[in-house]
Amino acid sequence: MGREVSESCIDSLLTEMVSTYCNRFYANKPELAARRIEAIGYQVGHQLSERYTMERPRFSDHLEAIKFICKDFWSELFKKQIDNLKTNHRGTFVLQDNHFRWLTRMSIDQSPENGASEEPSIMADNKAVQSMHLYFPCGIIRGALSNLGIPCAVSADISNLPACSFVVRIKA
């Protein structure tokens, strides 16, 4: 496995993908753009999990599979493991990454100098654009888990950058 790809290329490709889907293909339909980006992530996660579980035996239960995602899968993708895993033991898991690689360079616009009344809408706009970038990793997690036989729904939470939490809800 000697071939390598420049990380800047991948970062630029992902940025452009989100930007194209949001601004050109589905210009005024953010839900459709989000679903499309998530579907792309699903395919990627599906195939990556196939690759990274080649020599391993089957997972005994859901927790083992989630732990695989947190440790080995995340290390292969982002060169680090998930920092914090929480569960309610009833099918919901929260995976927290304190320094998510694809968000390290994203920074919120400063608050505008003209009038505090514009702030809430601009902040909401920023949050919307930032959350668009998270549909791809959510899709990756969902694709990987579904390939391991665990159907689920994944959402992301970025209340404090650059830390990022992914909430996985397993469908019973």
Partner 1 sequence: MQFFGGSEISPSPSVPTTTGNNAHMIYVFNRNGVCLLYREWNRPLHTLNPQQDHKLMFGLLFSLKSLTAKMDPTSAEKGNLGVPQLPGQGCSFHSFRTNTYKLSFMETPSGIKFILVTNPRSGDLRETLMYIYNLYVEYVAKNPLYTPGTPIRCELFNTALDQYVRSIP
* Candidate residues 27, 63, 108, 153; the one interacting with partner 1 per rule CB under 8 A: 108
Sheet bearing 84-87, strands edge to edge: 84-87, 92-97, 164-170, 152-157
Rank residues 109 and 119 by Cβ distance to partner 1 and give the closer one. 109
Contacts of 98 (CB under 8 A, 6+ apart): 83, 84, 162, 163
* Candidate residues 133, 137, 139, 148; the one interacting with partner 1 per rule CB under 8 A: 133
How far apart are CB 26 and partner 1 at their closest, in Å? 17
The mark string for 20-49 relative to partner 1 (x by CB under 8 A, - otherwise) is ------------------------------
Give CA separation, 56 vs 49, 53, 59, in Å.
11, 5, 8
How far apart are CB 130 and partner 1 at their closest, in Å? 7
Tell me, what DSSP letter sits at residue 129?
H
Neighbours of 132 (CB within 10 A): 17
How far apart are CB 21 and partner 1 at their closest, in Å? 13
3-state secondary structure of 118: helix
Residue tagged 């990454």 (tokens): 97
User: Which of 52-60, 76-84, 124-132, 147-155 is the region at the interface with partner 1 (rule: CB under 8 A)?
Assistant: 124-132
Tell me the C-alpha distance between 68 and 64, whole Å: 6
Using CB under 8 A as the binding rule, whether residue 98 contacts partner 1 is answered as no
Residues forming contacts to partner 1 in the complex (CB under 8 A) are: 8, 11-12, 14-15, 18-19, 105-110, 126, 129-130, 133
